[in-house]
Amino acid sequence: MTGDQPGTPRARSGLVRSLFDRFGHLLHELSKFATVGGIAFLVDFALFNVLTAGRGVEPVTAKTISTVVAATLAFLGNRFWTWRHRERSNPVREYALFFFFNGVGLGIAVACLAISRYGLGSIWPGVFQTTLADNIASFIVGTGLGTLFRFWSYRRFVFVEAGTRRVPRGPDPDSQA
Percent of the chain topping pLDDT 90: 31
Q: What is the pLDDT of residue 3?
A: 52
Question: What is the DSSP annotation of 53-86?
Answer: IIS---HHHHHHHHHHHHHHHHHHHIIIIITTTS
Q: What does DSSP assign to residue 5? A: S
Condensed to tens digits (0 to 9), the pLDDT of residues 5-30 reads 656 656 557 766 776 666 667 788 88
pLDDT band at 169 (very low <50, low <70, confident <90, very high): low
Is the confidence at residue 84, as pLDDT, over 70? yes
Taking only the tens place, the pLDDT of each residue in 33-44 is: 999 989 998 998
Q: Which of 55, 83, 77, 107 is nearest to 157 (CA)?
A: 83
- 3-class SS of residue 146: helix
Summarised one tens digit per residue, pLDDT across range 93-109 is: 888 898 899 889 889 99
Using one digit for the tens of pLDDT, what is the confidence trace for 130-158? 999 999 998 899 988 998 899 899 888 88
Cα–Cα dist 82/89, whole Å = 15
Query: What is the pLDDT, as a whole number, of residue 35?
Result: 95
Decide if 41 contacts 122 (C-beta within 8 A): no
Whole-model pTM over 0.75: no
Amino acid at 9: P
| Number of other CB atoms surrounding residue 175 within 10 Å | 6
